[in-house]
Each structure stands twice: as C-alpha cells, then as structure tokens.
Amino acid sequence: MKLSLYVSYISFCLYCSSSLFGSSFTYALSDFTSDLDGWGGGADGEISTVGAINAGDPYMRKEIDLDGGGGYKARMVVRRPTDPTVIASDPWLGDYISKGIQRVELDVKNSSESDTVFLRLAISNVANPQISTGTWWVSTTYYNLSPEGQWEHVSFNLLESEMQRVGTVNSDTPGTDSFEETLSNLRGFRFISNGNGYSAIGAEYSGVIGMDNIELIAIPEPNATAIILAVVAGFIVFSRCRI
C-alpha cells in the first residue's frame, strides 16, 4: 500500500513540476526570412542566402569596413534600436523581468579574412553608450570566432553573475543602476566584438558577419497552484503512510 502511494505521489510531483517550473519558449525570433526585422548597426545589412547554414536559408549579412574606412561604421556592432521612436513597441526591448526572458541565442559566422570576433552581449536601460546616463552591462562570457570560420550557435545567459557594469563612450565610470533595474527597462541591446569586455563599444573590424535565428528565450514564472497542490498531496501521502 505504501509503495503504491509513493508511486502515485512521485507521478503527481512530476506532473506538478511541469506546471511549477514551466517550459522555456521563444519570446522573440529574428530568422531574416524576408527582412532585417529592425536590426542595425554601424554598417548596413542585407538579406543573403550565400553561405547560409542550410542551402537557400536567408540570413543577415553585414559588410563592415571593407574599404578601410574609420569611425564607428568600422566597428563590429549589431544592435537595437535603430530608431529610438519605436523603443516602446520593440519586442526585443522593454521589461525583461515581467517577460521572463533569461537567455539569448543565435547563429553567427565570421567571414573576415583577418579579424577575430570576440562576441559579447551588451544591454542597457539607455539606447546608446554615447548617452551619459543609464547603465550598460556586458557579458563576461564571450565567443572567439576565428577568421573565415563556420557557423556557430552561441548562447548568453541574462544573469548578473555572467555580466559586468561598464562605462560609456564619455566616461570610464559605470552607471549605478542595479541589474534588475536595467532588465526591467531595457532600451539598448547589442552584439559587439570586444576583447576585454570593459565597454559596450564594438572593436574595429574589417570583414563580413553573418547572423541568423536570433532568439529571446523566456521561462514562465512558477505556477502557485501547482506549488499548493504538491504540498497538499505530500501531506496526504505521508500521513496515510504513517497510519
């Protein structure tokens, strides 16, 4: 009798756990099927299928500094927003905490003939690191993408333990907003190449970058009903086992 109760309880707990913790899901996805979907940066992008992950599959292709030009257009930056007037309606910005967003994934390829990409994620509660206010966070995790490389799938966790505050263009002093405050009002989101991770500014770069399947991964909040049911079931099972 006790064994059957234990089996039933374990089965019930497994059921509750799916409701309790939920399953991760894609909150936003840019697969570049027909357009650039709001992604910009220092260099213009285009939709291409040449050298795609799968034959005929479109992706975003950016040619950066191929003519040897200088300035910010020569830097490896892929960002949102490109138009500050659409921040409120951009699904890639806003309150990440209420949305349950915890991870960013994408496929990326460095086709430069000479330059390595040290790919990092940078986020902020202001749109651009040239703005003196707000706080920028840059991932301590980075991906070393060698020249003339292949497509790689990369992932960044949105955890304070895996990111650090950095300064702006005009100051080496980081902002003072907490990680939670920044995530609750995200207004700047960018992928950069930065070797030391001490800035949200991309390093100078010459070559071609390919990006595809950029994805925001969310995990639902725990289900309070499932928590209560699991606790009640536990009391019932163990009380019967003691009879």
- What does the pLDDT look like over 116-175, one tens digit per residue? 999 999 999 999 998 889 999 999 999 999 999 999 999 999 999 999 999 988 778 899
pLDDT digits (tens, 9 = 90+) for 219-243: 986 644 344 444 444 444 445 545 5
Amino acid (1-letter code) at residue 2? K
d(CA 122, CA 165): 10
Domain 24-219 fold? Jelly Rolls (2.60.120)
pLDDT at position 84: 86
pLDDT digits (tens, 9 = 90+) for 59-91: 999 999 866 555 667 899 999 998 889 999 999
Q: What is the pTM of this model?
A: 0.82
Across 40-64, average pLDDT: 94
CA distances from 17 to 99, 201, 224, 228, 230 (A): 20, 42, 11, 12, 9
Report whether 209 contacts 64 (CB < 8 A).
yes
Alpha-carbon dihedral of residues 36, 37, 43, 48, nearest 10 degrees? -20
